[in-house]
Structure 1
């Protein structure tokens, strides 16, 4: 194998390892990204609290209506029981019953409003609970898919690292030093193929001397524009 090919093969391996490294970061970030689930959970909790508040309000107004009806029943019993004979007392009691019934009507209107609100809150809570269940299921499925992908990628990474060690073992030390330096200064791409008489990395057209030098298996030729190692392919 030629010196440029050995570096090119190492470049292919490192490019794949770079992608794996970045993808693993993306996967780990996605696995920890439960913001949507948190938002939906908080919304569902708020609906639960709203429903509980509506039920308490309904129970209070139901108790008030019950107490008001009891007052009316007691006053009507006194009014029509025959024990009170004084006309003024009877008139006052009759007026009080009328007032109690009038307020009862107001309370019953409030009770109806509270019942309707409780029904609305129950429906909203049901919708929010369904949305939470769906979001939680989607999150679990997404995590499962990501974990499967991560498992596969880690196996690929292990294989590639083994291939990388083998590839490095056949590369001259001085070539390896140059390769590492170029990787640092050329955004991870140290080796470029020659395609249509041009450097595939920067696009510069190569002169005849470079094109001729690239064909030498025992020589490292650099692009005179970007400085990368050229491989004829």
Structure 2
């Protein structure tokens, strides 16, 4: 090859292109991943629903309590109103009053417990709303950032491809075909630079006969161990 370093530059460009494409794939995944917002929304909706159910329960308990208090007042009025005509009627009213008082006591205990839960859920609703707002803001910032990054990467890839094509022209077609085959089979590392007497890719010593032929005109040398294309670092 007229300029052996061209194939190393080509490999560098290919690696840069692949790195950019990998990052684009990550960005596409991030753009489609709404799990953080979805999770925060589900939690917020669940807490709000529990809070609404609890609010409805409290309203019902308060309504039931008012009804029982009204009944209690009515029975008390009858007992002490002087309109009772028999001991049997008095006993029945006293029994009813006792039952109402027991129900009121139980209901007020339930109402007190519900009010404690109400305070707890009210704080939870605020926290979940704040959390959802924070998640949405972070997602908005992330989308703006990675969308901008995506646009830059797409332009970078176009520029890198242009430079790659210029480098490819400098490489003989047979060498380029070999390079492409090795790049696919060697995880993107088709070309290795000699470091002293060793291949920098596999760190195995290269025989003198191969080392001396590296970089000579119309010659392409390969590592005797990993089979990568060898070039010198000068």
Confirm or deny a common fold (TM above 0.5). yes
- Whether the aligned pair in 2 keeps the contact of 1:3 and 1:217 (CA below 8 Å) is no
Q: TM-score, normalised by structure 2?
A: 0.91
How many corresponding residue pairs? 233
Determine the C-alpha separation between the residues in 1 that align with 2:97 and 2:82: 16
How far did residue 102 of structure 1 move?
A: 2.6
Determine the C-alpha separation between the residues in 1 that align with 2:86 and 2:124: 56
How far did residue 87 of structure 1 move?
A: 3.7
How far did residue 39 of structure 1 move?
A: 2.0
Q: Does 1:94 align with 2:90?
A: no
The 5 A counterparts of 1:39-54 are 39-54=39-54
How far did residue 16 of structure 1 move?
A: 0.7
The 5 A counterparts of 1:116-135 are 116-135=116-135
How far did residue 106 of structure 1 move?
A: 1.5
Deviation per CA, 1:122-169, whole angstroms, max 9, x where unpaired? 112222222222222222222222222222211211110111111122
Q: Equivalent residue of 1:192, what SS?
A: strand
Listed as ranges, the gaps of 5+ residues in structure 2 are none
How far did residue 3 of structure 1 move?
A: 4.1
- Whether the aligned pair in 2 keeps the contact of 1:51 and 1:122 (CA below 8 Å) is yes
Match of 1:228 in 2: 228
Deviation per CA, 1:188-230, whole angstroms, max 9, x where unpaired? 2211111122111111112222222114254221112122111
Determine the C-alpha separation between the residues in 1 that align with 2:183 and 2:118: 66
Listed as ranges, the gaps of 5+ residues in structure 1 are none
Match of 2:105 in 1: 105
Match of 1:16 in 2: 16
Match of 2:67 in 1: 67
Determine the C-alpha separation between the residues in 2 that align with 1:197 and 1:153: 38
**Change beyond 3 A, Cα 1:181–1:3:** farther
Q: TM-score, normalised by structure 1?
A: 0.91
**Change beyond 3 A, Cα 1:232–1:218:** same
How far did residue 67 of structure 1 move?
A: 0.4
- Whether the aligned pair in 2 keeps the contact of 1:4 and 1:219 (CA below 8 Å) is no
Superposed CA RMSD: 1.8
Q: Does 1:211 align with 2:184?
A: no
Moved more, 197-206 or 27-36: 27-36
Moved more, 175-184 or 7-16: 175-184
Determine the C-alpha separation between the residues in 2 that align with 1:228 and 1:94: 103
Moved more, 86-95 or 55-64: 86-95
- Whether the aligned pair in 2 keeps the contact of 1:4 and 1:230 (CA below 8 Å) is no
Q: Does 1:202 align with 2:202?
A: yes
Give runs of ≥4 in structure 1 deviating > 4 Å: none
Determine the C-alpha separation between the residues in 2 that align with 1:119 and 1:135: 24
- Whether the aligned pair in 1 keeps the contact of 2:4 and 2:215 (CA below 8 Å) is no
Q: Equivalent residue of 1:155, what SS?
A: helix
Match of 1:174 in 2: 174
Moved more, 65-74 or 161-170: 161-170
- Whether the aligned pair in 2 keeps the contact of 1:3 and 1:220 (CA below 8 Å) is no
